A = this chain, B = another copy of it.
Amino acid sequence: SGNFFLLAGPCAIEGEEMAMVIAEKIVAITNRLEIPFVFKGSFKKANRSRIDSFTGIGDEKALKILKKVSQEFDIPTVTDIHEVSDAAMAAKYVDILQIPAFLVRQTDLVVAAANTGKVVNLKKGQFMSPESMQHAVKKVTDSGNDKAMITDRGTMFGYQDMIVDFRGIPTMKQYAPTVLDVTHSLQQPNQSIGVTGGRPEMISTIARAGIAVGADGLFIETHFDPANAKSDGANMLDLHHLEKLLKDLVAIRKTINHL
């Protein structure tokens, strides 16, 4: 359709019902707007600031829910992996393996993901330049897998803020299809309470700029009740605002396609 694609879903799989409800709503919206949709959910949160943060409902249990979502709605799914042994396990259930930003320099993990033959979504480290992502992509292609993609989730800007460098999108598109992770890019890390903050009022701003500069896809964490979500509540998009946001973005994309 010439449209951008969308990776979206809750931060973490908190249970089957919430996953199904969220997937159903996003499927309905993306069908209306003709946006290719990949359901996103983490089976485990491995890099929380504090040891008492929620980390998941059980790995296989969460992965099976992702599989069920995929079958129920006939859509691909994506989840993030954190150890080499996660790669083969997760590959049994999902279509895209995502390498978290903190881990994208771990060669073994990237190669393990590549070796599954699945699409590998490489998140740009907050500490990396757009140009340096070519080396991460090369680790995938050197493993015989040509299905790498890149996702930008913002860059460190002082201790307690992140910034999106929009020059990075055309730069990284030279290496692989490039996605803008709208919600994580608006995080405000290193807050004194040990819980990451966010600026969700800026979601529309960052998303519009991303589409305008040619992002191939968007990544959006969304929940029907962000304030009560078990992780990343501070920067998920309220699901009720998703359709209006996407509708506006589709209009910009159509304009861009004709320039």
Determine whether A107 belongs to the interface, using a CB cutoff of 8 Å to chain B: yes
Determine whether A5 belongs to the interface, using a CB cutoff of 8 Å to chain B: no
| Complex interface bits, A231-259 against B, C-beta within 8 A gives 1, otherwise 0 | 00000000000000000100110111011
Which residue of chain B is the closest to A45 with respect to CB atoms?
B107
Residues A166 and B127 in contact in the complex (CB < 8 Å), given A83-B84, A107-B46: no
Determine whether A20 belongs to the interface, using a CB cutoff of 8 Å to chain B: no
Identical chains bound together, number: 4
User: Do most interface residues of chain A lie in helix, strand or loop, or is the interface mixed?
Assistant: loop
Contact A47–B205 (Cβ < 8 Å): no
Considering the chains assembled together, what is the distance between the CA atoms of A55 and B111 in angstroms?
13
Contact B158–A160 (Cβ < 8 Å): yes
Interface centre among A134, A135, A251 (most CB of B within 10 A): A135
Q: Which residues of chain B are near A49, meaning CB under 8 Å?
A: 105, 132, 135
Contact B50–A138 (Cβ < 8 Å): yes
Query: When the two chains form the complex, which single residue of B84, B125, B158 contacts A157, counting CB atoms closer than 8 Å?
Result: B158
Determine whether A8 belongs to the interface, using a CB cutoff of 8 Å to chain B: no
Residues A159 and B129 in contact in the complex (CB < 8 Å), given A47-B107, A105-B49: yes
Contact B209–A166 (Cβ < 8 Å): yes
**A-B complex: 9 closest residue pairs judged by Cβ atoms:** A158-B158, A212-B212, A129-B159, A209-B209, A47-B105, A129-B190, A208-B212, A255-B255, A51-B139
Q: Which A residues contact B (CB, under 8 angstroms)?
A: 46-52, 55, 82-85, 102-103, 105-108, 111, 125-129, 131-132, 134-135, 138-139, 142-143, 155-161, 163-167, 169-170, 189-190, 192, 194, 199, 202, 205-206, 208-209, 211-214, 248, 251-252, 254-256, 258-259
